[in-house]
Structure 1
Amino acid sequence: MIQTNGEKIFGVLNYVLLTLLSLTMLLPFIHLLAKALSSEAYVLAKDITFWPIGLQFNSFNYVLQNKQFLTTFGNSVFITVVGTFLSLLITMLSAYPLSKQSFPAKRVILFLYVLTMFFSGGIIPTYLVVKAIGLTNTLWAMIIPGLLAPFNLILMRSFFMSIPDALDESARMDGASNTRILFTIYLPLSMSSIATITMFYAVGYWNNFFSAMLYITDRNLMPLQIYLKSIIQNESSVSVGDIEALLNTSPESIRAATIICAVVPILLIYPFLQKYFVKGALVGAVKG
């Protein structure tokens, strides 16, 4: 297809704009990585831009050997993995019947789900409920209150509605139950939607810190984001008793290394889901 001059100019400007936007997102991470890998003297002198000076790995060694970091990291991994799995399961089990025209009162139930997107019970009533059922100071307090996101439910319901009814009817003629139809027909055909929702849930659980501030007081149960918050706010940094760490690195380098270690795990998920991500989001947006 032959492009006009206007289309060529628009294409060039589009690439330039997207490149600049990408740099605004990448450069802060590159700066943090350079700071984490640089020697203490250059960091304190604020000589670091986007390339490490006096390459060293003491900051990462300190972070990855820090007991509090490893504990909070393990808590966040548990919350993210278990929470994402349970959220996906409940979302699929809820979206399937709501995608069927024959399901009674589906409009009322869907309306109640959507209503929670605009109105919630509030922080204090929610806290009282969590406390009453004994979830305070447990990792389940980070998972159970947010198991189902209405937006993700609507997205998956829309994808299920795009699957031809003929597949459902033929399976029922062969004697398949609703459970078998869901797990053997609908889910294999919905991998793009599942990958998209998995990303939404995983990022939400990994970055959640407000729930921990409300429901958890035990330091051994804190997620990584609370530890990261304390590091950034200078509430927790290099231990005074850790002479070796104090001599070989700076608190600023340790903060940078901690941020990098907290961000990289969730970033590693995206390359595996990226090929499904756009398709899943678009189908959920235009169907229903």
Structure 2
Amino acid sequence: MMSHRSIGERIFDGANVFFMFLLSVVTLYPFLYVLFASLSDPAWLVKVRGIIWYPEGATLEAYKLVFQNPSILSGYMNTIIYVVAGTSLNILMTSLGAYALSRQNVMWKNPIMFMIVFTMFFNGGLIPTYLLVENMGLVDSRWALILPTAMSAYNLIIMRTAFQAVPVSLEESAKLDGANDFTVLFRIIMPLSMPVIAVMILFYGVYHWNSWFQALIYIRTRDLYPLQLILREILISNSTDSMLTGIGGGDKMPVGETIKYATIIVATVPILCLYPFLQKYFVKGVMIGAIKG
């Protein structure tokens, strides 16, 4: 039997639904605008001012021009390398650090944790970091985008808290059977902490996919540019001329606009496709890492 709900409760629920609907529209529409613009006829697009409700004269010409650009393809390949290699190293280093700092018998655990937290508020800045990377011989190499960001202090704290929630008795039982620390970590702790591991993969993966500033600072060779740096050139520097070969002078500006929108979609959709596979772990993983049971 359903309980009677007061008028105030119904008004409150209706206001919540309306507010969430508006929030969804405000969040989703910018992406839909870019998608509709990328599919629209270039001549029509340059005449439109304001909201776009649908793609007028739908065409895939802008996407064809984008994928014909060798810089986009090389940027895709480089970004995939950075995401896979960087995220793998991130998960490895964060797991090792979190495991060590979550054990009860580790000496100097609190001072080490203090120094790690200290880096979240104070750091050397851009120039000392650049000099360090340069002295290590990493400038203009892929390692410049992978090694300096091998671990995030924030993510380390989340994973450390999640590892502390695993019962100590499991570790003790495994060590009585002859397991060492690596066995305990990779065969017991990490399988039991898959929700937080999935969240870390999402956090680190999105970071590497969207990263462009480090590449701008450290990378000189164009063949090593990630996709986001190519996207920056197209959007900010307006460098679409290489994709407009064979197009008449009067049509270059409208087509160039659709190319910008198509490039944004091409650079955004792949990382959006990753989220549904990790969504079921997301809330649970963050809560495990944020609350000490």
Is TM-score (shorter-chain normalized) higher than 0.5? yes
Judge conservation of contact 1:72–1:221 (CA < 8 Å) in 2.
Answer: yes
Q: Is 1:261 matched up with 2:266?
A: yes
Q: Is 1:286 matched up with 2:291?
A: yes
Aligned pairs for 1:72-87 within 5 A: 72-87=75-90
Aligned pairs for 1:240-279 within 5 A: 242-244=245-247, 250-279=255-284
Judge conservation of contact 2:69–2:242 (CA < 8 Å) in 1.
Answer: no
Distance 2:241 2:16 in 1: 45
Number of the residue aligned with 1:34: 36
Q: Which is further off, 268-277 or 209-218?
A: 209-218
Judge conservation of contact 2:69–2:243 (CA < 8 Å) in 1.
Answer: no
Tell me the secondary structure at the aligned position of residue 113 of structure 2. Answer: helix
Judge conservation of contact 2:66–2:243 (CA < 8 Å) in 1.
Answer: no
Judge conservation of contact 2:75–2:226 (CA < 8 Å) in 1.
Answer: yes
- For this pair of structures, how many residues does the alignment match? 288
Residue deviations 1:197-252, cap 9 Å, x none?
A: 11110111111111111111221111111111111114311327611497596111
Q: CA deviation at 1:12?
A: 2.5
Judge conservation of contact 2:244–2:256 (CA < 8 Å) in 1.
Answer: no
Residue of 48, 66, 70 corresponding to 2:69: 66
Judge conservation of contact 2:68–2:243 (CA < 8 Å) in 1.
Answer: no
Q: Is 1:185 matched up with 2:214?
A: no
Judge conservation of contact 1:58–1:245 (CA < 8 Å) in 2.
Answer: no
Tell me the secondary structure at the aligned position of residue 243 of structure 1. Answer: coil
Distance 2:19 2:268 in 1: 25
Tell me the secondary structure at the aligned position of residue 241 of structure 2. Answer: coil
Residue deviations 1:165-192, cap 9 Å, x none?
A: 1111111111111111111111111110
Q: Which is further off, 2-11 or 88-97?
A: 2-11
Q: CA deviation at 1:273?
A: 0.3
- Runs of 4+ aligned residues of structure 1 deviating over 6 Å after TM superposition are none
Q: Is 1:11 matched up with 2:13?
A: yes
Residue of 196, 199, 203 corresponding to 1:200: 203
In structure 2, do the counterparts of structure 1 residues 3 and 183 end up closer, same or farther at CA, with 3 Å as the change threshold?
A: farther
Number of the residue aligned with 2:221: 218
Q: Is 1:140 matched up with 2:140?
A: no
Structure 2 alignment gaps of length 5 or more = none
User: Alignment RMSD, CA only?
Assistant: 1.8
Residue deviations 1:3-30, cap 9 Å, x none?
A: 7434433332222222211211210111
In structure 2, do the counterparts of structure 1 residues 216 and 17 end up closer, same or farther at CA, with 3 Å as the change threshold?
A: same
Distance 1:238 1:287 in 2: 55
Distance 2:13 2:146 in 1: 44
Residue deviations 1:139-181, cap 9 Å, x none?
A: 1111111110001000000000011111111111111111111
Residue of 164, 173, 176 corresponding to 1:173: 176
Structure 1 alignment gaps of length 5 or more = none
Tell me the secondary structure at the aligned position of residue 157 of structure 1. Answer: helix
Q: Normalising by the residue count of structure 1, what TM-score does the alignment of the two structures yield?
A: 0.95
Distance 2:291 2:242 in 1: 53
Distance 2:135 2:243 in 1: 40
Residue deviations 1:47-74, cap 9 Å, x none?
A: 6703101111000111112101111121
